[in-house]
Chain A
């Protein structure tokens, strides 16, 4: 299997000489992955306190989560907001990415800079700014306000993903379609868009998780009667209420895994398409 004196690098270093590197990296990878997974077994613990490993296994915290109208309302709200924000940011972001890929000049650069701003500005400032504007326009206690804020936060991801997809796309195809009789919008819809499907999907995935996980803005703006799931979790963690948070965390990890696998699938399809 692994031959210790087999040389593996261009400079003829062997596995044996690099063992220290392998050990170090193993530790680092453990450091990265353990926190992600540690909560999972703990969420099945029967006791009131978090313990690892759990002395008794139980589903009580999952039942607490699913049975609580507050938690369910928060979950439902978070999904709603994330879904709408994803749709809006994907549509607006895709259109913007398309326009920016073709436009040249100062105005285009200005627009691009502005659309990417949410990514550069520290999230606390986004939250404060949003809170400020909303409190003056009455959006502070509305789900619309939260959706708009999340859309703005998610758009840069879509811009980057679709922008990358457009870079690899041969614009001549659109020109060919137009020469064959298609108007510019029709050529975009029938030729360009179908080929951007994968980029758009990956942008949408990023947008969804960005909105779903978002805490800080949600702390400042209340979306109607209930808060978002991350906001409720934040309050629970800070106030050390009960291990229901562990159950919710496990479910969220599950969501992350699903999205990660979806992303890898998209990447593989993209690779095949370019081949």
Chain B
């Protein structure tokens, strides 16, 4: 059986995404934790895109009429879960940031006690 255009495109797309993810990890721009989620999602899309019989059987067993709908649904589900996950992470980062601001304020005050005067603001700070 020869490869169809759509199979070639999806395979190339998946390979490109995997390479991108791995390269981002190598450059330390993406943590291993996130790369795992992306790798699994990419692999899943690659398998579904490449194996037409598998895609058809999964689509039928879920009672979905068109194969493309399954692919879109999977993509949207992944994006939604990922966004929710990011929001949770952001909330936690906010809490951690608050804790650091408290800590710095108290440390600055202690430093002022030992130095006997106001400590200059950090470079990144407004004002």
Asked if A and B are interacting partners, one says no
Residues of A within 8 A of B (CB): none
